[in-house]
Amino acid sequence: MRPDLANDVLWLTGEHLVLVASAMAAAILLGVPGGILLTRRAGLRKWLLGFASVMQTIPSLALFGFLIPIPFIGGIGPRTVIVSLALYALLPILRNTFVGIASVDAAVCESAVAMGMSDGQVLRQVQLPLAAQTILAGVRIATVTTIGTATIGAAIGGGGLGVFIFRGIASVDSTQILAGAVPAAVLALLADGGLGWIERRLSAA
Amino acid sequence: MPLVEFRDAGYRIDGKTVLSHISFAVEAGETVVLLGRSGSGKTTALKMTNGMVFPTSGQVLVEGRPTVEWDPIRLKRRIGYVIQEVGLFPHFTVAENVGLVPKLEGWSRPNRERRVDELLEKVGLDPAEFRPRYPRQLSGGQRQRVGVARALAADPALLLFDEPFGALDPITRHELQQQFLGLTRDLHKTAIFVTHDVREALRLGTRVALLQGGHLETIATPPEFRRAQSGEARAFLAGLED
């Protein structure tokens, strides 16, 4: 491999990681509290889960198109890409947080309440620890998908490994395409393996 | 003053009457067994005692004060509760499960540890062996013992039992019933105990309250109950003969 290509791979992998990490941080910060809220406000379930499901059905290029004209969150560049990726990642996290907490054994929650735990104590000491594995599974699915989807971000100047892929397609150069696709696949596998390992550790506890 | 008093208490939800006009009192040291079929309202009545459910008519008084006037958390921490499927926390060890209420109450660590050991011994489990175990590493009977130890942890005067021995084999069940009698007598605890098993009711109760369709049919000592003439009481007593 040419040394300048190797340098580019490192640089763009870094950019890619920043895109994915920012989007995942935003999705987790919204999705986990959102999922908790859903377990406590039944009326919101249809709306929030519906919104997140609809987001998933919008093709990513179209979503970029919708977001570009919106002030503050839109525009050309990584910001729009991060917002879109976060919206895609929201559903699995939101849903798994909700399902994880809702499927904690009712007898366990009831005895927690009967022992005089406050709502916050039941959540922190009982529901979240017991739902952690399911929530993490949602984060894992979302992360792996986001790593792949983030390659499309290069279409609107978001940077990341997609830059290679678009460049390779334009110049019919499979080396360039592989230089983007292989590191993206490796990142996805590492993320899957790493988060899967944490998930198994949680289930052993 | 009775420890618990139901005064014409009723409960309706979604237009359906679960309990109506329930009145009885539980004096300190008594074990009142709420006996009834599924859907008779006995578990709801139990949950009214510690404010898991509030009456929609009438009142339930604990230590002379209506449950609605109690701080809901203080009320629950003063009352031990043992649930049917035990409800032990699967991610807590036996010691953490038993020491939970003392911890919530802010006891110091050494006090908590001492209390946990004392309680495990009381319910017949060797502390050294059982402290570090998780609930899934216990048999059904052992889990139930831990559940009883947990309910006793903060030394509540009143204990509530919701069909705690329902899922156990007959031998373990009998052992735990004997232990229950020992504990309530030695520790002078007051208990309200829900069951659908008339044998259990007559063995454990100082009085048996029979519920049918949300009404209190009869409340009587076991010998009186055996002579009761109401249809529902006879139906339950018929179960003793075979």
Per-residue pLDDT of B50-109, as tens digits, reads 999 999 999 999 998 999 999 999 999 999 998 876 689 999 999 999 999 999 989 999
The answer to whether B74 contacts A110, with C-beta atoms less than 8 Å apart, is: no
Q: Confidence band (pLDDT; 50, 70, 90) for A124?
A: very high
> Could you give phi then psi for residue A189, rounded to 5 degrees?
-65, -40
Please tell me which of the candidates B52, B88, B150 has its beta carbon nearest to residue A113.
B52
- At B55, phi and psi to the nearest 5? -65, 145
B70 to chain A, closest Cα gap in Å: 12
Q: What residues of chain B lie within 8 A of the CB of A126, using their CB? A: 89
Instruction: Supply the pLDDT for residue A189.
Output: 95
Residue A32: both structure tokens together: 């986990």
Q: Does residue B220 sit at the A interface (CB-CB below 8 Å)?
A: no
Chain B residues inside the 8 Å CB shell of A124: none
Question: Which residues 143-172 of B have a C-beta within 8 angstroms of A?
Answer: 150, 160
Q: Over chain B, what HEC string results?
A: CCCEEEEEEEEEECCEEEEEEEEEEECCCCEEEEECCCCCCHHHHHHHHCCCCCCCEEEEEECCEEHHHCCHHHHHHCEEEEECCECCCCCCCHHHHHCHHHHHCCCCHHHHHHHHHHHHHHCCCCHHHHCCCCHHHCCHHHHHHHHHHHHHCCCCCEEEEECCCCCCCHHHHHHHHHHHHHHHHHCCCEEEEEECCHHHHHHHCCEEEEEECCEEEEEECHHHHHCCCCHHHHHHHHHHHC
Within 8 A of B74 by CB-CB distance, chain A residues are 116
The one-character DSSP state at A124 is: I
Quote the pLDDT of residue B236. Answer: 86
Mean pLDDT of chain A: 89
Report the range of poorest mean pLDDT among A9-18, A55-64, B53-62: A55-64
Q: What is the pLDDT of residue A196?
A: 92
Report d(CA A24, CA A81) in Å as an integer.
12
Residue recorded with tokens 């009698």: B181
Interchain contact B180–A (C-beta under 8 A)? no
pLDDT at B232: 86
| B58-69 burial code (b ≥16 CB/10 A, e <16) | bbbbbeeebbee
* Confidence band of B164 (pLDDT split at 50, 70, 90): confident
- Mean residue pLDDT of chain B comes to 90
Q: How many beta carbons lie within 10 A of that of residue B113, not counting itself?
A: 16
Both tokens of residue B75? 């009320």
Q: Give the model's confidence band at A205: pLDDT under 50 very low, under 70 low, under 90 confident, else very high.
A: low
Assign B1 a pLDDT band (cuts: 50, 70, 90).
Answer: confident
Residue A20, H or E segment: helix A3-40
Residues 6+ apart with CB under 8 A from A117: A125, A126, B73, B104
Q: What ipTM, to 2 d.p.?
A: 0.83
A57: Cβ–Cβ under 8 A, 6 or more apart, which residues?
none
With CA atoms as reference, report the closest residue to A16 among A181, A141, A174, A177: A181
| pLDDT score, position B186 | 83
Cα distance between residue B15 and residue A205, in whole Å? 44
Percent of chain B with pLDDT over 90: 58
CB contact under 8 A, B87 and A113: no
How much of chain B, in percent, has pLDDT values that exceed 70? 99
pLDDT band at A73 (very low <50, low <70, confident <90, very high): confident
Nearest Cα to Cα of residue B217 among B11, B42, B7: B42
Work out the pLDDT band at A1, boundaries 50, 70, 90.
low
Phi, psi of B59 (to 5 degrees): -140, 155
Instruction: Label residue B229 by pLDDT band (50, 70, 90).
Output: confident
Q: Is the pLDDT of residue B206 over 60?
A: yes
Answer yes or no: is pLDDT of A158 > 90.
no
Q: Which of B76, B89, B150 sits opposite A126 (nearest CB)?
A: B89
Summarize the confidence of residues A31-36 as an average pLDDT: 94
What pLDDT score was predicted for residue A204? Answer: 61
**And the tokens for B169?**
């084999």
How many contacts (CB atoms, under 8 Å) link A and B?
54
Task: Give the pair of three-digit tokens for residue B241.
Answer: 């003969």
Which amino acid is located at B210 in the chain? L
Write out chain B residues lying below 8 Å of A110, CB-based.
Answer: 52, 83, 87
Exposed/middle/buried for residue A52 (C-beta within 10 Å: 0-12, 13-18, 19+): buried
| Cα(A113)–Cα(A127) distance, integer angstroms | 12
The pLDDT, as a whole number, for residue B155 is 87
